[in-house]
Homo-oligomer: A and B are copies of this chain.
Amino acid sequence: MNKKSITSYDVAKAAGVSQSAVSRAFSPGASIAKATRDRVLQAASDLGYQPNAIARSMSSARIETQQKSGMVGVVVTRLQDPFFSRTIAGLSQNIQARGWQMLLFTVESESEVDAAMNSLMQYKIDGAIIMSAILSDQMAETCQLRGIPVMLYNRSADGLNVNSVQIDNVEGGRLAAEFLLEAGHERIAFVGGEEDDETSKARESGFVDRLSEDGIKLLFHEEGNYTFESGREAALRLFSRNQRPDAIFCASDVMALGVLHAARYELGLEVQKDFSLLGFDDIPEASWPGHSLTTIRQPIRRMIVEAVDVLVENMQDPEMLTRRTSFAGKLILRGSCRRTVL
């Protein structure tokens, strides 16, 4: 079985040049005569030669080369979540467009992030993007020592020296509260993520703060896990109590849709009339006609571009200062909320 791969030596022989020449032909900006390069490229194409990226990053390991492994590690949780799958799709496209490949690692929980980074680092990734999670101080230090730029997406780490791109969750929460207050709501519930979820906590804190400024206290707090089912169950619990909320703010659209479906189709409630519903993210499903979910939109496209831009810049300039970008959420008005005081 002939599975020997074609090396630069094979091409060199075919083109009647040295191996160095072949290497140069494939290195933009290298010192090589046009005629030689053409001859090499022709031979390469005849033989079906492709430079071996592994060997390439191997030899460039010693010097400060532009491209090293050519891979960016991405650590992600909850890939099934529309918000994340959209983000991954966007990141992937942007990373590829910039000439890198994406080495993807999915983890079940935040505690696995460090292990994931260790795995990825064995591949000498040039940089890493971590979604909705943080790394340990120790891991951050390791990355810095190894010169691997890190980008936190949907999270930030105050103490640590790592880049981050995220939405201002506290302000987003405030925005939500503001809107519900203006519409005159008073019996307000919040459906968040698990107890230790930073994102959820931030959204809730902004939300609750703003409410309390108007003297309103949160009526109920329900805990979910960012799935539709958990939103659905939260709704069932919420509406089974004596006192019913007249507005519900959910830490994510998926959970809000869970609430919506439960309320409308299982409890026979009328969204907007019986209670206002507010989500967070603005996933595509939120705008489906039957959902028409009012929500706080994350400027996901811009966030993705920013994340990749900054990471690429940092990969090219290791000395770059840590960059933390915070985007503002925007209220997207749809049918799930009443707009004026009754």
A-to-B contact residues, CB < 8 Å: 1-3, 5, 48, 50-55, 57-58, 61, 69-71, 79-80, 82, 85-86, 88-89, 92-93, 96, 101-106, 118-124, 142, 145-147, 228, 232, 257, 260-262, 264-266, 284-285, 288-292, 318-319
A318 touches B3 (CB 8 A): yes
Q: List 5 A-B contacts (CB under 8 A).
A: A3-B146, A54-B57, A54-B124, A85-B85, A101-B104
CB pair A89–B93 under 8 Å, yes or no, is no
| Most B CB within 10 A of own CB, among A53, A54, A58, A88 | A54
CA distance A165 to B291 in the complex (A): 35
The reply to whether A284 and B228 form a contact with Cβ atoms under 8 Å apart is yes
Inter-chain CA distance A284–B78, complex, in Å, is: 14
User: Can you name the residue of chain B whose Cβ is closest to the Cβ of A285?
Assistant: B285
Q: Is the CB of A266 within 8 A of B288?
A: no
Is A104 a contact partner of B92 (Cβ separation < 8 A)? yes
Interchain CA distance A102-B106 in the complex, whole Å: 10
Q: How many copies of this chain? A: 2
Q: Which of A88, A264, A319 has the most CB of B within 10 A?
A: A88
Q: Is the CB of A53 within 8 A of B124?
A: yes
A50 contact set on B, CB distance < 8 A: 118, 121-122
Can you name 17 extra interface pairs (CB under 8 A) apart from A50-B122, A80-B85? A1-B147, A3-B146, A50-B118, A52-B124, A53-B122, A54-B54, A54-B57, A54-B58, A54-B123, A70-B123, A79-B89, A82-B82, A92-B105, A102-B103, A257-B288, A261-B288, A265-B292
Instruction: Tell me, in angstroms, the Cα distance from A39 to B90 when the chains sit together.
Output: 45
Cβ contact within 8 Å between A52 and B122? yes
B96:A106 contact, CB within 8 angstroms:
yes
- The smallest C-beta distance from A314 to any residue of chain B, in angstroms, reads 13
B142 to A3, Cβ gap below 8 A? no
Contacting residues, chain B, for A261 (C-beta < 8 A): 288-291
The CA-CA distance from A261 to B318 in the complex, in Å, is 50
Nearest CB on B from A146, distance (A): 6
Question: Which of A104, A147, A257 has most chain B Cβ within 10 Å?
Answer: A104
A124 to B124, CA, bound (A): 15
Measured CA separation A61–B56 after assembly (Å) = 13
> Cβ of A289 and Cβ of B262 under 8 Å apart?
yes
* 8 interchain residue pairs of minimum CB distance: A85-B85, A3-B147, A265-B289, A79-B89, A53-B122, A92-B106, A261-B289, A265-B290
Quick one: which of A85, A105, A260, A292 has the most chain B CB within 10 A? A85
